[in-house]
Amino acid sequence: MFNQNRILRVFKLITLLKTFPAKSIKRLAASLEISERSCYRYLDLLVELGFQVGKDQHNKYFLPADQVADPFTKEESQLIHEVLSVSVKQHPLLDSIEAKLPHFEESNILSTNIVHGHLSKLVAKINDAISQQTQLLIQSYQSASTESISDRLVEPIGFTANYQYLCAFEVESKQNKYFKLERMGSIENLTEIVKFKKNHKFSNPDVFGFNDSGKKYEIKLSLSMRAMLFLKDDYPLTAEHLTEQNDGTWLLNVKINSLEPLDRILKGMPNDVNILSHS
């Protein structure tokens, strides 16, 4: 029978695999805090549950965003309910998971929402630091650009309107950056008062979460359905800039602050994205 840690790791693995870009075994294992050998076993378990786990040419794993997955029957959902109620009565993710279990047999797993019951706790801790004007440590932050996991010492400034990102001054780089809450492992509130307040600057990031660098790039991309779903999953702000075309493809037309995410998207899905123009 599943124990509590195994259940929660399954949900977290689903989220990691459905979030662009594809991820290596090393990164998955680090995020789940397990060995690489154990990570392979969890991938096998997802296949047994009915998921189609994909692997790209770089041996990185992902879940196709457009797959229809109904891995749990009504009876299986009830069993998970029972296991959770016995094993993890006080776990902070319990309410979030149980609230979504009844929908497993009715629709796709909305895995990007399943494991983020801790987000409200992160927001509360960050708000405390903002109100107290103290530094905080973002622990186990997953960087999409470098595919690394590290701790970040920051001075929090504020949230974007939809609470997707925290705008903060990073002490090491001496730069104002945007940190996606979903990529934060945890938050440690520190007692150190902010030291660089005069350098704090808040501005809304672009749809990919990049700060205003003084340059703007207008891009037009033709996307397959797979690429469109990946973008909407990992970068929800792109949704209002996507339009469906008559041939079944999707057009992304938007201004961005950096071409770095465009390079990552092209490398990750070379057969699903075409550049129509960028300037």
**One domain, residues 47 and 108:** yes
* Phi, psi values for residue 43, rounded to 5°: -65, -40
**One domain, residues 138 and 162:** yes
b/e map 217-245, b = 16+ CB within 10 Å? eebebbbbebbbbbbebbbebbeebbeee
Answer whether residue 161 is part of any domain.
yes
Q: Residue 45: give its domain's CATH number.
A: 1.10.10.10
**One domain, residues 40 and 108:** yes
Whole-number pLDDT of residue 258: 84
Q: Which of 60, 93, 114 finishes a domain?
A: 114
**One domain, residues 221 and 264:** yes
Whole-number pLDDT of residue 157: 94
Answer whether residue 212 is part of any domain.
no
- List the chain pLDDT tens, one digit each, 279 residues: 344 567 778 878 888 888 778 889 988 988 887 888 889 988 988 887 778 888 888 889 988 765 544 455 555 555 665 555 555 555 555 565 655 554 443 333 334 433 445 677 788 899 999 999 999 999 988 776 666 788 999 999 998 866 778 999 999 999 998 888 878 888 999 999 999 999 998 877 888 877 776 788 899 999 998 888 888 877 778 888 999 999 999 999 999 988 888 888 888 888 889 998 877
Domain count within the chain = 3
In whole angstroms, give the CA distance from residue 202 to residue 177. Answer: 9
**One domain, residues 88 and 63:** yes
**One domain, residues 94 and 145:** no
Whole-number pLDDT of residue 174: 94
Answer whether residue 70 is part of any domain.
yes
Whole-number pLDDT of residue 108: 37
Contact 180, 165 (CB under 8 A): yes
**One domain, residues 75 and 147:** no
Whole-number pLDDT of residue 2: 40
Contact 108, 63 (CB under 8 A): no
Q: Residue 129: give its domain's CATH number.
A: 2.30.30.40
**One domain, residues 125 and 94:** no
Residue span of the structural domain in which 89 resides = 4-114
Alpha-carbon dihedral of residues 248, 63, 177, 147, nearest 10 degrees? -130
